[in-house]
Amino acid sequence: MSRVVVATAFGGPEVLSVVEQPTGSPGAGQVLLEVRAAGVNPADWKGYTGAFGTDPAKLPLRLGFEASGVVAAVGPDAVGPAGPLAVGDAVIGFRLRGAYASSLVVPATALVPKPAALDWAEAAGLMLTGATAVHALTAIGAGAGDTVLVHGAAGGVGQALVQLAVAGGARVIGTAGASGAETVRRLGGEPVGYGDGLAERVRAMAPDGVTAAVDAVGTDEALDTSLELVGDRQRIATIANFARGGQAGIKVLGSGPGADPGTALRDAARLGLTALVEAGRLEVQVAGRYPLDDVAAAHREGMTGHSHGKLVLVP
């Protein structure tokens, strides 16, 4: 049996419960994963708050797309992107279904080796934010010589965007509140406070112009500032403002309506992300660790949008 989180109805975090369900045994190409930590992401609560619809056939709904853990059993032909898997392997799983659990059966193709440089919680928070950042930076063609404006640079995806853009040779200006500015600076970006006058402050920092932008927060300010500062709308991407992004003719990425999910690109990014971690060029900052039983509290914290890093559940 496994302890798993389910949403028993559509609504707020109060609809979440921890229940016991059978785990089953791994079949061909599958692995039984003992979960050490599971990453918390906005896509998790969007599934039960109605953002992705309210089809009652989906209930009870299991949550969680990423986790770190140990291989407990393997089925025949259990081969991941880095090769065959064996009992005892420390791995990261992405993309999973129902990762908020003490154990679950997953496809071997979803697992890559966990970098020794990351603890379990950090490893659980690497893939969704990292793969999202790779997708966004690829979509806008960010690279050496660019000046990239990142909105929400102190958040989970924002931190990955800053680090990956800097690793690719770009200059990064990242919006953040006062409490997140030092995080942005430490990761190689140049922090700028959001709020009234943002465009003018960015212009003062980059008199030669901003060549690309990524909106990781979904505010009108982020979109309006990007449109004002970046001449080519195909070099602006949003992962959060789906409605206005599509109307404005910019790149709309992710799981929202009309967005490009970038599934193949994000899956292909996994081994590159772990390689950057091993090389000391990418880190994961964990903002909070919650027991599985406190999943509702973790989601309430995440919904505030003010966490500087990843929130993680620990079974």
| Per-residue model confidence (pLDDT) at position 51 | 86
**Is 80 exceeded by the pLDDT of residue 255?**
yes
Could you tell me if 220 and 297 lie in one domain? Answer: no
| Per-residue model confidence (pLDDT) at position 307 | 81
Could you tell me if 118 and 137 lie in one domain? Answer: no
Could you tell me if 158 and 215 lie in one domain? Answer: yes
pLDDT tens, 169-190?
999 999 999 999 999 999 999 9
Residue 275 lies in a domain: no
**Is 80 exceeded by the pLDDT of residue 161?**
yes
Look at residues 155, 94, 85, 174 and name the one whose alpha carbon lies nearest to residue 128: 94
Give percent of the chain with pLDDT exceeding 90: 96
pLDDT tens, 25-44?
999 999 999 999 999 999 99
Residue 278 lies in a domain: no
Residue type, 222: A
Indicate the helix (H) or strand (E) that contains 277: helix 270-278
Residue 203 lies in a domain: yes
Could you tell me if 83 and 192 lie in one domain? Answer: no
| Per-residue model confidence (pLDDT) at position 257 | 84
**Is 80 exceeded by the pLDDT of residue 306?**
no
When divided into structural domains, the chain yields a total of 2
Q: What is the pTM of this model?
A: 0.95
pLDDT tens, 91-149?
999 999 999 999 999 999 999 999 999 999 999 999 999 999 999 999 999 999 999 99
Could you tell me if 110 and 154 lie in one domain? Answer: no
**Is 90 exceeded by the pLDDT of residue 297?**
yes
| Per-residue model confidence (pLDDT) at position 234 | 97
Look at residues 190, 138, 187, 194 and name the one whose alpha carbon lies nearest to residue 160: 187
Q: Which two tokens stand for residue 164?
A: 């990956």
Beta strands in the chain (DSSP E): 2-7, 16-21, 30-40, 61-62, 67-74, 79-80, 83-84, 90-93, 103-107, 111-113, 147-151, 171-176, 190-193, 212-215, 236-238, 251-252, 286-291, 310-314
Residue 271 lies in a domain: no
What distance separates the 2 farthest-apart alpha carbons in the chain? Answer: 60
Could you tell me if 28 and 111 lie in one domain? Answer: yes
Range of the structural domain that residue 290 is part of: 2-126+284-314
Could you tell me if 87 and 117 lie in one domain? Answer: yes
Residue 279 lies in a domain: no
| Per-position DSSP letters for 8-33, written without gaps between them | -SSSSGGGEEEEEE------TTEEEE
CATH of the domain at 302: 3.90.180.10
Residue 67 lies in a domain: yes
